[in-house]
Chains A and B, each alone.
Chain A
Amino acid sequence: MTQYCDDPVILNQWHPLSSFDEIVVGQMHSTVLLGCSISYQLTAQGSLSVWLCRDVNFSLPLKRAYGFLWTSLGTPPDEIFAVGELDETDRQNVATGVFGVNVSFGRAIENFLDMGHFPFVHTGILGEEPHTEVKEYDVDVSESRDEIMATRCRFYQPQASLASEGGADVDYVFRVPHINCALLYKSSPGYEAEGRMDVIYMFLQPMGPEWTRAHTGMCVIDSKNSYQGIRYFQQVIFGQDKSILENQFPKRLPLDSRAETPIRADKSAIAYRRWLTKKGLTYGVIPAI
């Protein structure tokens, strides 16, 4: 149905297929990854398998991590990127839904990293006019960990927390430890003094070069409040972003520096594009000239 993928950079990675919450025991599920139809099943005895649809004997490597089933169509690394918070015992890891979006995974990652759109796309929730300024932040590309970190990010949020009356600047840290996965760290309400953070993540499943399945979730400390409110909120945010993402052209992320006009607020996006170019990625992107 979609184009065949022959890009080793993306083939030799782990990719998410499904949250375990959505796998019905005993039922065969199918999806598409990098243009290939894939099936997976969890038996009543607890045995898990993933295979190529066209050949039930062609089984694929699989991994369970962070509440999700991951697979690879190539030779993936031994481990998936680490997320320390997801191992902490006093947390809830909540899958907040999986959604289809008709754009490349790269565009979705950049949207996740971007703050400038908060007052316009997530009006009244993550931002509000006239507080539109994106203050200078820091971006670091770590060679050793092979990931991108954006720190000292802050943006004015209209209702910073349930307790506060008015708006205030909220601090964020963004992390991209994988070509198609991104995480956002925010102070956990009540744990600011200890410096503990809540994690919001987006693990993208590239179905095609211009078609993505977004697995979203969050890992929060607070177990007293129902997480349904936060899950609801995540879905609203995604729904608002989806219609913008689907109106971006070209749909594949253009990596050439002369394709689009960056401003200082786009530092993390620029770093992401350069990182992808350095890796030699060709799938789902328009490589630099």
Chain B
Amino acid sequence: MKLYDYELSGNCYKVRLFLSILDLSFDTQTVDFYPGREHKSEALLRLNPLGQLPIFEDADKVLCGSDVILSHLAANYDKSGLWYSPKQRLDIDKWIRFADEITATASAARLHDTFFYDLDIATARAGAERLFRNLDEHLWFSEQRGYDWLVPTRVPTLADITCFPYVALSEEGGISRADYPAIRRWCDRIKRIHGFIPMPGIFSTSKAA
């Protein structure tokens, strides 16, 4: 298995994180996303015509996009069958779509502040705050009902993996999480999943009691 990866990309991190949790070995090809724009090179465009990362090769399959890669890994390598179980699939998919909205807002704000992308920062931030209010409310009530994760299950699912990175990186786009204590507690819980790995901008936390 081979991952075409950029260390600072939250979408690539989703795949790296899940691979670590599933304890799978794989090769990494680091792509000079910036400033080299290697993802737009001929070689990589042949693998992914959209010119985006992450790209994942497994045997003869070439998979593009974090959502696709994650569901492939869950379908083929998740011994527990609980990361993307058929029973929870509709609910998990709803959150995967929510994660896309987070990418469109919080990740965009981060691209603007860190990488100087030219976009409407006020709209991006306001959009992220609306989503975070929603997410905080959902997590708060989940806690009240005795659940630690986005989907009402005893264990985390792909819903949590997909929503986590750009939420945890939101401050790089000027979006503070001080108003969202339930989100902050959820982030700690994700950091305690066995096999959790950090990325630049997301640090490990202390061990659970």
A and B touch in the complex (CB under 8 A): yes
A 224-253 binary contact with B (CB < 8 Å = 1; else 0): 000011011001111110110011000000
- Please determine whether B116 and A100 come into contact, CB atoms closer than 8 angstroms: yes
B 110-148 binary contact with A (CB < 8 Å = 1; else 0): 000111100000000000000000000000000000000
Q: A232-B30, A246-B171 are in contact. Are A97 and B201 (CB under 8 A)?
A: no
Q: How many Å from the CB of B16 to the closest CB on chain A?
A: 13
For the complex with contacts A231-B36, A243-B200, 6 further pairs of A-B residues with Cβ separation under 8 Å are: A19-B35, A97-B35, A99-B115, A238-B200, A239-B199, A242-B172
Collect the chain A residues with CB atoms within 8 Å of residue B115's CB: 99-100
- Please determine whether A236 and B7 come into contact, CB atoms closer than 8 angstroms: yes
Q: How many Å from the CB of A2 to the closest CB on chain B?
A: 14
Collect the chain A residues with CB atoms within 8 Å of residue B174's CB: 102
> Can you name 19 A-B residue pairings with CB atoms under 8 Å?
A19-B35, A21-B35, A22-B35, A97-B35, A98-B35, A100-B114, A101-B114, A228-B36, A235-B200, A236-B8, A238-B200, A239-B200, A240-B200, A242-B201, A243-B201, A243-B202, A243-B203, A246-B171, A246-B172
Does A95 reach chain B (CB closer than 8 Å)? yes
Q: A239-B8, A240-B200, A243-B201 are in contact. Are A228 and B32 (CB under 8 A)?
A: yes
Collect the chain A residues with CB atoms within 8 Å of residue B200's CB: 235-240, 242-243
Collect the chain A residues with CB atoms within 8 Å of residue B30's CB: 228-229, 232
Q: How large is the interface on B (under 10, 10 to 19, 20 to 34, 35 or more residues)?
A: 10 to 19
A 20-33 binary contact with B (CB < 8 Å = 1; else 0): 01100000000000
Collect the chain A residues with CB atoms within 8 Å of residue B199's CB: 239
Q: Roughly how many angstroms separate A246 CA and B113 CA in the complex, as a whole number? A: 12
- Please determine whether A232 and B172 come into contact, CB atoms closer than 8 angstroms: no
Collect the chain B residues with CB atoms within 8 Å of residue A240's CB: 200-201
Chain B residues near A (Cβ < 8 Å): 7-8, 30, 32, 34-36, 113-116, 171-172, 174, 199-203
Q: Roughly how many angstroms separate A21 CA and B115 CA in the complex, as a whole number? A: 15
Collect the chain B residues with CB atoms within 8 Å of residue A238's CB: 200
Q: Roughly how many angstroms separate A95 CA and B201 CA in the complex, as a whole number? A: 22
Q: Taking chain A's interface residues, is the majority helix, strand, or loop, or is none over half, making it mixed?
A: helix
A 95-114 binary contact with B (CB < 8 Å = 1; else 0): 10111111000000000000
Number of interface residues of A (CB under 8 A): 25
* Chain A residues numbered 115-158 whose CB sits less than 8 Å from any CB in chain B: none
Chain A residues near B (Cβ < 8 Å): 19, 21-22, 95, 97-102, 213, 228-229, 231-232, 235-240, 242-243, 246-247
Q: How many Å from the CB of A30 to the closest CB on chain B?
A: 10
CB contact between B114 and one of A21, A99, A232 (< 8 Å): that residue: A99
Q: Find the residue from A100, A101, A237, A238 having the highest chain B CB count within 10 A.
A: A100
Collect the chain A residues with CB atoms within 8 Å of residue B113's CB: 100, 102
Nearest CB to that of A241 among chain B residues?
B200
Nearest CB to that of A240 among chain B residues?
B200
- Please determine whether A97 and B34 come into contact, CB atoms closer than 8 angstroms: yes
- Please determine whether B32 and A98 come into contact, CB atoms closer than 8 angstroms: no
Q: How many Å from the CB of A214 to the closest CB on chain B?
A: 10
- Please determine whether B35 and A239 come into contact, CB atoms closer than 8 angstroms: no
Q: Roughly how many angstroms separate A238 CA and B115 CA in the complex, as a whole number? A: 12
Nearest CB to that of A94 among chain B residues?
B35
Q: Roughly how many angstroms separate A231 CA and B8 CA in the complex, as a whole number? A: 12
Collect the chain A residues with CB atoms within 8 Å of residue B8's CB: 235-236, 239
Q: Roughly how many angstroms separate A101 CA and B173 CA in the complex, as a whole number? A: 10
Q: Roughly how many angstroms separate A101 CA and B116 CA in the complex, as a whole number? A: 10
Q: Roughly how many angstroms separate A213 CA and B113 CA in the complex, as a whole number? A: 10
Q: Roughly how many angstroms separate A243 CA and B36 CA in the complex, as a whole number? A: 24
Q: Roughly how many angstroms separate A196 CA and B116 CA in the complex, as a whole number? A: 35
Collect the chain B residues with CB atoms within 8 Å of residue A237's CB: 200
Q: Roughly how many angstroms separate A83 CA and B174 CA in the complex, as a whole number? A: 36
Collect the chain B residues with CB atoms within 8 Å of residue A229's CB: 30
Q: How many Å from the CB of A22 to the closest CB on chain B?
A: 6
Collect the chain A residues with CB atoms within 8 Å of residue B201's CB: 239-240, 242-243
Q: Roughly how many angstroms separate A118 CA and B113 CA in the complex, as a whole number? A: 25
